[in-house]
Amino acid sequence: MNELLASVNSVTLGYGRKVVLKDVTMQLGEGEFWGFVGPNGSGKTTLVRALLGLIKPQQGQIVWHRQVRIGYVPQREALDDLLPLTALDIVLLGRIRKGGLLHRFSAEDFDKALQTMEQVGIADLAHLPFRELSGGQKQRVLLARALVADPDLLLLDEPTNGLDLPTEHAIMELLKQIHSERNVAIVFVTHLLSLAANSVTHLALFHNGRVIAGEIGELLSEQKLSATYQTPISVHDLNGYKVVMVQNRERVQNA
Amino acid sequence: MLEMLKHDFLRHALAAAIIAGASLSFVGVYVILRRIVFVGAALAQLGAAGVGLALLTGQSPLLGGSIAVLAGALGFVAMPQQERTVSRESLLGAAYALASAFALLFVALSPVGEAHISALLFGDLLAVGHGDMELLAVACLFAIAVHLLAYHAFVATTVDPTFAHSVGIKERRVNLLFYLSLGALIGACIRAIGALVVFAFLVLPPLAGLIWAKGLKAAFCIAIAVASMSAAFGLWLSFAHDLPAGPSVVAVCGVLTFLLAALRWLISLKA
């Protein structure tokens, strides 16, 4: 087990009286690559918002074991196309630190922003308007904005949603590269189990208001997945690429 | 134009219109980007209601307008972020309608009567004295100084509030500062230029700026330039053709914004 960053202890999350997730327990360690996988509305983003401190648990607690710098990457649609900002303007915002109400960007901030943009392959886009970039380019800008503050934990909310296959593959490869080069812990939210299965070290499966979390080796078995989703699921190896699929639509009774 | 500047009261009016227009259009860029145009309209009407109440009770209109707008700004910040049974927009609509009605009722009930109704909507630019202008300038400078000092925090919370939170910016604190500065600005301007002109400056010049600019700073500069030109040409038009000052300024501002938008559209067709 890597050094612990955060422990989620029997946490129940929701909005008002509505409970979205119940009794979630998991531990996030340094340098781990997590895939939060589940259908839309299953509570993945709710748990991310709780990790960001935007919503408080109704029960249980989230314990941070040390000061953790979080880099958050929203879905690219979160940024309004009305904004007249360049890609560099967006990345620089990542250099605002705690208590940054009066922050002024220094030459070091600009250097770091440009250097990070180069690392994620968008150095040539620095002075282009963000709203004119493609989906994949926007996602890289948002990734650079999160990375520019050297985070200990990257939280990515469905970064490949709506991207074409080659762009989705390129973003996943970039995430794997960032994970191996920087040893940053990553939480990657997706509704595609196959996508997560080929990149992550740990899985959190969101289903019916519950979360089953653990190392990928423990969870990515046909037996475990079938029991979790109450549907027969098969896991195939296609030239080293894992493909997870539903075997048929018959419900498995007493799984 | 030079003929107009020979008169003391017109010089004051011009300075007040340019100061108010430049400040409101600067902050108005955020108003449009944050999609809170209705907040601007509701706050302007609350300011008018405050001025009306002050006229009725014999208090300072500047003080009455400012208190009403600041109370409204605080109320808006205190509104729950999560919309459960009613939307924030509908609450703002209700505030707008009630504030408009009360503004007119207060003036109608006041001893000075309905003569003030036009001033409430379009202000009383030609009656701005030296002391009024100094107060207006101080309030505008304060609001702009707050915006310049907290520039990156305002931009970060406008661009992506969740990300701003993740880098340690206290979003509620920044929003409180934003709405208080907006409230202070509207409160200070409402007596001089009236609710409708305040709202026009908050929306029209920033629209022109955002249509033309490729960067945020350029959008601020264009908005300020459009507001200042509208104030100057509007007042000149009013002086030269004996028209009411406030509506003349709004009309010039509208025409200028429309022409800039049309020009932009024509250029995009050619590109």
Q: What is chain B's mean pLDDT, rounded?
A: 87
Picking from B159, B168, B210, the nearest residue to A97 by CB comes out as B168
Give the model's confidence band at A255: pLDDT under 50 very low, under 70 low, under 90 confident, else very high.
Answer: very low
Phi, psi of A4 (to 5 degrees): -75, 135
Which domain range does residue A207 map to? Answer: 4-246
Q: B216 and A54: CB-CB below 8 Å? A: no
pLDDT tens-digit readout, B200-238: 999 999 999 999 998 899 999 999 999 999 999 999 999
Say how far residue B30 (Cα) sits from the centre of its chain: 12
Q: How far apart are CA B142 and CA B246, in angstroms?
A: 24
Judge whether A155 lies within some domain.
yes
Q: What is the SS3 assignment for A222?
A: helix
Cβ atoms A36, A192 nearer than 8 A = no
Judge whether A252 lies within some domain.
no
Q: B152 and A53: CB-CB below 8 Å? A: no
For residue A46, what are its two tokens?
């709710």
Q: What is chain A's mean pLDDT, rounded?
A: 87
pLDDT at B84 exceeding the cut of 70 = no
- CATH code for the domain of A75: 3.40.50.300
Q: Where are the beta strands (DSSP E) in A103-198?
A: 153-157, 185-190
Minimal-distance CA residue of chain A relative to B210: A84
More confident residue, A218 or B117: A218
Which domain range does residue B265 map to? Answer: 4-270
Give the model's confidence band at B9: pLDDT under 50 very low, under 70 low, under 90 confident, else very high.
Answer: confident
For residue B18, what are its two tokens?
């340019």
Cβ atoms B125, B192 nearer than 8 A = yes
Distance from CA of A54 to the nearest CA of B (A): 8
Minimal-distance CA residue of chain B relative to A83: B33
Q: How far apart are CA A49 and CA A210, in angstroms?
A: 16
Q: A52 and B165: CB-CB below 8 Å? A: yes
pLDDT at A37 exceeding the cut of 50 = yes
Say how far residue A165 (Cα) sits from the centre of its chain: 18
Rounded to two decimals, the pTM is 0.83
Residue A29's CB is within 10 A of a number of other CB atoms, namely 17
More confident residue, A105 or A203: A203
pLDDT at B115 exceeding the cut of 70 = no
pLDDT at B252 exceeding the cut of 70 = yes
Quick one: pLDDT at residue A1?
A: 61
pLDDT tens-digit readout, A160-193: 887 888 888 888 888 999 998 888 999 999 988 8
Q: How far apart are CA B37 and CA B31, in angstroms?
A: 6
Within 8 A of A85 by CB-CB distance, chain B residues are 155, 159, 215-216
Phi, psi of A232 (to 5 degrees): -65, 120
Among A38-52, A98-112, A170-184, B212-226, which stretch is predicted with the lowest mean pLDDT?
Answer: A98-112
The strand pair at A33-37 and A202-207 is best described as parallel
Mean pLDDT across B3-15: 82
More confident residue, A137 or B62: A137
Q: What is the SS3 assignment for B41?
A: helix
Judge whether A251 lies within some domain.
no
Within 8 A of A102 by CB-CB distance, chain B residues are 149-150, 153
Quick one: pLDDT at residue A100?
A: 62
Say how far residue A193 (Cα) sits from the centre of its chain: 13
Q: In DSSP terms, which residues pair with A156 in a beta bridge?
A: A73, A188
Q: B162 and A79: CB-CB below 8 Å? A: no
For the stretch B62-75, what's the b/e string if a residue is b when 16 or more beta carbons lie within 10 angstroms of its beta carbon? bebbbbbbbebbeb
pLDDT > 90: percent of chain A: 49
- CATH code for the domain of B25: 1.10.3470.10
Cβ atoms A207, A21 nearer than 8 A = no
More confident residue, B7 or B185: B185
Residue B222's CB is within 10 A of a number of other CB atoms, namely 22
pLDDT at B114 exceeding the cut of 80 = no
Picking from A16, A52, A83, the nearest residue to B166 by CB comes out as A52
pLDDT at A231 exceeding the cut of 60 = yes
Orientation of helix A135-147 relative to helix A165-182, angle to 10°: 10
Picking from B35, B155, B163, the nearest residue to A74 by CB comes out as B163
Orientation of helix B8-33 relative to helix B245-270, angle to 10°: 50
Q: B155 and A99: CB-CB below 8 Å? A: no
Orientation of helix B88-109 relative to helix B61-78, angle to 10°: 160
Mean pLDDT across A220-237: 83
Quick one: pLDDT at residue A193?
A: 86
pLDDT at B121 exceeding the cut of 70 = no
Residues 6+ apart with CB under 8 A from B65: B47, B48, B50, B51, B54, B187, B190, B191
> Which of B182, B174, B137, B252 is closest to A103 using CA atoms?
B174
Interface with B, mutate which of A15, A96, A143, A158 (most B CBs under 10 A): A96
Strand order in the sheet with A33-37: A70-73, A153-157, A185-190, A33-37, A202-207, A210-215
Judge whether A45 lies within some domain.
yes
Within 8 A of A83 by CB-CB distance, chain B residues are 33, 158-159, 216
pLDDT tens-digit readout, A239-254: 878 888 887 655 544 4
Judge whether A79 lies within some domain.
yes
Number of domains in chain A: 1
Within 8 A of B149 by CB-CB distance, chain A residues are 101-102
Quick one: pLDDT at residue B190?
A: 83
Q: Which residues of A touch B (CB under 8 A)?
A: 15-16, 49, 52-54, 70-72, 74, 78-80, 82-86, 89-90, 93-94, 96-105, 129, 145-146, 149, 155
pLDDT tens-digit readout, B176-196: 899 888 888 988 888 788 888
- Give the H or E element holding residue B117: helix B117-122
Interface with A, mutate which of B167, B172, B176, B180 (most A CBs under 10 A): B167
Q: How far apart are CA B133 and CA B27, in angstroms?
A: 19
Helix and strand numbers (H, E) in chain B are: 11, 0
Within 8 A of A82 by CB-CB distance, chain B residues are 32-33, 35, 210
Give the model's confidence band at B113: pLDDT under 50 very low, under 70 low, under 90 confident, else very high.
Answer: low
Number of domains in chain B: 1
